[in-house]
């Protein structure tokens, strides 16, 4: 059944930000004398910056300078952004245009602060597709708590059970489940785990595949899911 509303995560789903974040955070930690391993970084995906910095402080101990790290990581991220740009994920514009044609309202529910999220959406000229933008600074509890998505759902005026969350991270799927919402997953840096596959209605390689799945009415059966994947190449 088609959802009545779509709520999108942003980093790693709409925007290809995770590689920039990973490089900036790893370098900032190294400059301060700490080794941020790939395994540790993957634990930070999908949670707020404040929660991620708390994880690092717990991992590295009381000598970890959270404030210095925050400032330096942001500087390095902006340098990468300015030098290399921040591309949209393939298929996002087509998916948003399709949702608009179907009169399905869309929102963003991201761990990024709202001001920065809006700035990025404006830069890519897609902000007008979203009726609501909720940032991590607007709630007390970030993902995997459902607060961000519940606030987006309330802003759209749709029942939770009729909202579909689009995520790239396991923490977002947990937030969707906690909020009584449906979800699907388009993994970015972190492959889909067995638990993620249990939580999500579908796991897809791209937003193009998500659009085809939606056009088919969100089938649950594997056969119809595979048909959605095949249809991507036909469009």
> What CATH number does the domain containing 144 carry?
3.40.50.1000
Task: Count up the domains in the chain and report the number.
Answer: 2
Q: Tell whether 36 and 93 lie within a shared domain.
A: no
Q: Are residues 227 and 155 in the same domain?
A: yes
Looking at the structure, tell me whether residues 129 and 198 fall in a common domain. yes
Opening angle at CA 27, ends 23 and 31, nearest 5: 175
Looking at the structure, tell me whether residues 197 and 218 fall in a common domain: yes
Q: Using alpha carbons only, give the angle 189, 190, 195 rounded to the nearest 5 degrees.
A: 160
Q: Is the pLDDT of residue 7 over 60?
A: yes
Residue 73 structural domain:
18-84
Q: Which helix (H) or strand (E) element contains residue 183?
A: strand 182-185
Q: What share of the chain has pLDDT > 90, as a percent?
A: 80
Pair 160, 47 in one domain: no
Q: Give yes or no: residues 32 and 120 share one domain.
A: no
State the DSSP H helix or E strand holding residue 5, giving kind and residue range, or none if neither: strand 5-8
- Mean pLDDT calculated for residue range 144-162: 98
List CB contacts of 175: < 8 A, sequence separation 6 or more: 143, 144, 145, 146, 148, 149, 165
Q: What is the pLDDT of residue 222?
A: 46
Q: Measuring CA to CA, which residue among 209, 215, 213, 164 is closest to residue 186? A: 209
Q: How far apart are CA 114 and CA 126, in angstroms?
A: 15
pLDDT for res 154: 98
Entry pTM: 0.83
Span 177-225, pLDDT tens digits: 999 999 999 999 888 999 999 999 999 999 999 999 999 999 975 444 4
Domain termination site, one of 84, 106, 132: 84
Give, for 132, the enclosing helix (H) or strand (E): strand 132-134
| Spatial distance between the Cα atoms of 130 and 120, rounded to a whole number of angstroms | 13
Among 56, 84, 112, the domain-final residue is 84
Q: In terms of domains, do 33 and 138 share one?
A: no
Q: Write the pLDDT tens digit of every residue in 99-113.
A: 999 999 999 999 999
Task: Among 34, 56, 84, identify where a domain stops.
Answer: 84
70 and 126 in one domain? no
- Distances 126 to 31, 105, 129, 191 between C-alpha atoms, Å: 36, 14, 6, 27
**Residues 105 and 28 reside in one and the same domain:** no
CA distance 109 to 194: 24
What is the arithmetic mean of pLDDT over 118-144? 95
Confidence of residue 131 (pLDDT cuts 50, 70, 90): very high
188 and 92 assigned to the same domain = yes
Q: 76-91, pLDDT tens digit by residue?
A: 998 998 898 889 999 9
User: 234 pLDDT exceeds 70?
Assistant: no
- Same domain? For 93 and 205 the reply is yes
* Domain shared by 110 and 189, yes or no: yes
């Amino acid at each position: 059944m088609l959802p009545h509303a779509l709520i999108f995560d942003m980093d790693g789903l709409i925007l290809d930000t995770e590689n920039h974040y990973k490089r900036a955070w790893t370098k900032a930690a190294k400059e301060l004398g700490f080794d941020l391993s790939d395994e540790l970084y993957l634990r930070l995906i999908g949670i707020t910056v404040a929660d991620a910095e708390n994880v690092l402080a717990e991992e590295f101990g009381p000598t970890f300078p959270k404030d210095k790290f925050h400032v330096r990581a942001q500087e390095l991220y902006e340098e990468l952004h300015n030098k290399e740009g921040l591309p949209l994920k393939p298929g996002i514009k087509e998916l948003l245009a399709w949702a608009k044609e179907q009169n399905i309202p869309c929102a963003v529910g991201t761990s990024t602060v709202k001001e920065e999220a809006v700035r990025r959406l404006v830069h890519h000229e897609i902000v007008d597709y979203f009726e609501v933008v909720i940032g991590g600074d607007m709630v007390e509890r970030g993902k995997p708590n459902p607060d961000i998505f519940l606030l987006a759902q309330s802003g759209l005026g749709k029942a939770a059970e009729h909202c579909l969350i689009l995520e790239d991270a396991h923490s977002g799927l947990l937030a969707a489940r906690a909020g009584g919402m449906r979800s699907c997953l388009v993994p970015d840096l972190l492959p889909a785990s067995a638990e993620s596959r249990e939580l999500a209605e579908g796991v897809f390689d791209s937003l193009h595949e998500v659009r085809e799945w939606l056009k088919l009415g969100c089938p649950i059966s594997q056969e119809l899911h595979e048909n959605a994947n095949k249809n991507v190449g036909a469009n």
